[in-house]
Structure 1
Amino acid sequence: MLQNKCRHSAVLPNEICPFCNTTTPETLLDICFDYINKHPETICTPSSENLQLMDGLSLPVEICERLLNVRNNSLTPVDSSFINIFKNTDCTRLKRVKLRQTEIQDQDLEMLLKHNLIELDLSLCPNLTSNCIEHLSNHSSSLISLGIGEDTDIFPVRLFGKSPLDQELYQKRYIFLAPNLKRLTLKGLHSLQSDFYMILLYPLSTLTHLDLSNCSSLGNFLYTHHLVNLTSLILYNVDAIESKIAAICKLTNLRHLDISQSRDDQGKYKKGDQILKTIVECLPKLTSLDISGTNLAGRGVAETINGSVCDIPGLSSRANNPFQYLGLYETSHDACLRHDIPAKLIGGNANEEQILVAALAYLDRTDMLQKVMNELFHLFRLENIEYLGQALNIVLEAMSRHLHERHIQISGSATLFYIVKGTGPELHDDVRVKRKIITTLLNGMSVHKNDDTMMRNGCLTLCQFRIPTDVLFDYERLVNILLYSVYGMAQESFVQRIGIYLLNSLACQVDGQQKVKLGELGAINRMIWLIKDRLERGICDDVLEVAWSTMWNVTDETPLNCKKFLEQKGMQHFLQCLEKFPDREELLRNMMGLLGNVAEVRELRQYLVTSEYLSVFARLLDSQSDGIEVSYNAAGVISHIASDGPDVWLVMEPSRTHVLNKMVSAIERWDINSLRNINYRSFEPILYLVQVYHTPECQHWAVWALANLTKVYPEKYCTLVEREGGLSLLQELIYHPIVPARVKDLAAIVIENCRKFQASLEG
Structure 2
Amino acid sequence: MVYFLHPSQAPRNLVPPDAQRDAQGWRVAQEEASPYALVSSCLNVLIANLEKLCPERPDGTLCLPEHWTFPQEVADQFLEMLSWQGKLTDKTASIFQGNQMNLKLANIQRVKISAAAFINCFCHHKLLEVDATGVDSELSVPDIIHGLCSSSWIQQNLRCLLLDSASVPLNSGLLAFGQLVGLRTLNVSNICFHSEDLADVSQLPSLENLDISNTQITTISALLTCKDRLKSLTMHYLKCLAMTKSQIFAVIKELKCLRHLDISGHKQLCSDIGFYLLQQKDILPNIVSLDISGSTYITDRDVEHFIRNHPSIQFVGLLATDAGYSNFFTTKRGLKVAGGANLSQIAEALSRYRNRSCYMKECLYKLFTETFSVHVSMPAILKLVAIGMRNHPLDLTVQFTASACVLNLTHQGLARGMPVRLLSEVTGLLFKALRNFPSYLQLQKNCLLSLTNSRILMEVPFDRFSATRFVLGWLYRHENPKVQTMVVSIVSTLALQLSREQVSELHEDLFLAVKELLAIVKRKTAENLEDATLLFSLKALWNLTDESPATCKQFMENQGLAVFIQVLETFRDSTIQSKVLGLLSNIVEVRELTSKLMTEDVMKHISILLHSKNMEVSYFAAGIIAHLACDKRPWPFCAAQRSALLQDLHATIQKWPSSRCKMSALVTYRSFKAFFPLLDNFSQPVAQLWALWAVYHVCSRNPSVYCKMLGEEGGLPLLCNIQAHHQTNPQVQQMAVSFLEDFRMYFTTYRKHTVC
Q: Which interval holds the TM-score relative to the shorter structure? A: 0.7 to 0.9
- Return closer, same or farther for 1:654/1:400 CA change in 2, 3 Å cut-off: same
Structure 1 residue 230: Cα displacement? 0.8
Asked if 1:528 is matched to 2:532, the reply is no
Equivalent of 2:254 in 250, 264, 271: 250
Would you say the 8 A contact 1:336–1:349 is kept in 2?
no
Does the residue aligned with 1:312 lie in a helix, a strand or coil?
Answer: helix
Asked if 1:367 is matched to 2:358, the reply is yes
- 1:362-441 to structure 2, matched below 5 A, reads 362-383=353-374, 388=378, 390-420=380-410, 427=417, 433-441=419-427
What is the alpha-carbon distance in structure 2 between the residues aligned to residue 659 and residue 109 of structure 1?
81
What is the alpha-carbon distance in structure 2 between the residues aligned to residue 591 and residue 46 of structure 1?
55
**Alignment match, 1:53:** 64
**Alignment match, 2:218:** 219
**Alignment match, 1:700:** 686
**Aligned AA for 1:257?**
L
**Aligned AA for 1:221?**
I
Would you say the 8 A contact 1:289–1:323 is kept in 2?
yes
Equivalent of 2:118 in 78, 89, 109: 109
Cα deviation digits, residues 157-191 of structure 1 (max 9, x gap): xx4xxx4x53xx4xxx9566312111111122356
What is the alpha-carbon distance in structure 2 between the residues aligned to residue 5 and residue 364 of structure 1?
30
- Higher alpha-carbon deviation: 672-681 or 221-230: 672-681
**Aligned AA for 1:549?**
K
What is the alpha-carbon distance in structure 2 between the residues aligned to residue 175 and residue 643 of structure 1?
83
- 1:510-525 to structure 2, matched below 5 A, reads 510=497, 514-522=499-507, 524-525=510-511
Does the residue aligned with 1:346 lie in a helix, a strand or coil?
Answer: strand
Cα deviation digits, residues 264-288 of structure 1 (max 9, x gap): 642225xx7653243x623212111
**Aligned AA for 2:358?**
D
What is the alpha-carbon distance in structure 2 between the residues aligned to residue 3 and residue 231 of structure 1?
38
Equivalent of 1:573 in 527, 552, 559: 559
**Alignment match, 2:160:** 145
- 1:621-640 to structure 2, matched below 5 A, reads 621-624=606-609, 633=620, 636-640=623-627
Does the residue aligned with 2:293 lie in a helix, a strand or coil?
Answer: coil
**Alignment match, 1:305:** none
Structure 1 residue 693: Cα displacement? 3.3
The TM-score normalised by the length of structure 2 is 0.76
**Alignment match, 2:210:** 210
Structure 1 residue 424: Cα displacement? 5.5
Structure 1 residue 294: Cα displacement? 1.6
Does the residue aligned with 1:123 lie in a helix, a strand or coil?
Answer: coil
**Aligned AA for 1:596?**
S
**Alignment match, 1:596:** 585
- Return closer, same or farther for 1:691/1:219 CA change in 2, 3 Å cut-off: closer
**Aligned AA for 1:26?**
Y
What is the alpha-carbon distance in structure 2 between the residues aligned to residue 62 and residue 45 of structure 1?
23
**Alignment match, 2:184:** 182
What is the alpha-carbon distance in structure 2 between the residues aligned to residue 237 and residue 476 of structure 1?
44
Does the residue aligned with 1:679 lie in a helix, a strand or coil?
Answer: strand
Does the residue aligned with 1:184 lie in a helix, a strand or coil?
Answer: strand
Alignment RMSD (CA, Å): 4.6
- Return closer, same or farther for 1:531/1:669 CA change in 2, 3 Å cut-off: farther
The TM-score normalised by the length of structure 1 is 0.76
Does the residue aligned with 1:226 lie in a helix, a strand or coil?
Answer: helix
Would you say the 8 A contact 1:294–1:332 is kept in 2?
no
Would you say the 8 A contact 2:293–2:320 is kept in 1?
yes
Percent identical pairs in the alignment equals: 19
- Return closer, same or farther for 1:596/1:149 CA change in 2, 3 Å cut-off: same
- 1:288-303 to structure 2, matched below 5 A, reads 288-295=289-296, 297-298=298-299, 300=301
- 1:252-331 to structure 2, matched below 5 A, reads 252-263=256-267, 265-268=269-272, 275-278=277-280, 281-295=282-296, 297-298=298-299, 300=301, 312-318=304-310, 321-331=311-321
**Alignment match, 1:304:** none
- Return closer, same or farther for 1:199/1:727 CA change in 2, 3 Å cut-off: closer
- Return closer, same or farther for 1:384/1:324 CA change in 2, 3 Å cut-off: farther
Asked if 1:502 is matched to 2:490, the reply is yes
Higher RCO (Cα < 8 Å, 6 or more apart): 2
Structure 1 residue 566: Cα displacement? 4.5
Gaps of 5+ in 2: 1-16, 658-662, 745-756
What is the alpha-carbon distance in structure 2 between the residues aligned to residue 205 and residue 221 of structure 1?
18
**Aligned AA for 2:388?**
A
**Alignment match, 1:36:** 46
What is the alpha-carbon distance in structure 2 between the residues aligned to residue 632 and residue 119 of structure 1?
67
Structure 1 residue 381: Cα displacement? 2.9
Structure 1 residue 390: Cα displacement? 3.7
Asked if 1:552 is matched to 2:542, the reply is yes
Gaps of 5+ in 1: 302-310, 759-763
